Amino acid sequence: MLICFYYYDYGRRPEFVDRDWAEEYARQRKDRMQDAIDDYLQDDRVTAYRAYEEILCCIHDVISYHKNNLKKAENLRDLMLGYRNTDLNLPERY
């Protein structure tokens, strides 16, 4: 609501309205990665090899996460399409 008052009260648009948000997000993402790399490189107790291994571990974690969610999504799709495990332990009368 404050943005609306600003716009109407002063007859101009706030500068952040005209910002390219995709470009801004890309810049911030790069900055976050730069901060993480700086953190590793500026720590005297961390070797380059350890940084390498931990980055690979993070990539592996992302792969594992998406594999697990892929399985869950496929299971839900199968259930929605009617593919269900059925209990065939019917009573004797059938």
Range of the domain at 63: 2-80
At 18, give phi and psi (nearest 5°).
-85, 0
H/E run at residue 32: helix 21-42
What does each of the 94 residues of the chain score in pLDDT, given as a tens digit?
Answer: 555 555 555 666 666 667 788 999 999 999 999 999 999 999 999 999 999 999 999 999 999 999 999 999 999 998 898 887 766 566 676 5
Residue 85 within a domain? no
Percentages helix, strand, coil for the chain (3-state, rounded to 5) are 70, 0, 30
Q: Is 44 left (phi over 0), alpha (psi -120 to 50) or beta?
A: alpha
- Global pTM? 0.58
Residue 86 within a domain? no
Quick one: pLDDT at residue 85? 72
Could you tell me which of 58, 64, 27 has the C-alpha nearest to residue 40?
58
H/E run at residue 17: none
Task: Please tell me the total count of domains within the chain.
Answer: 1
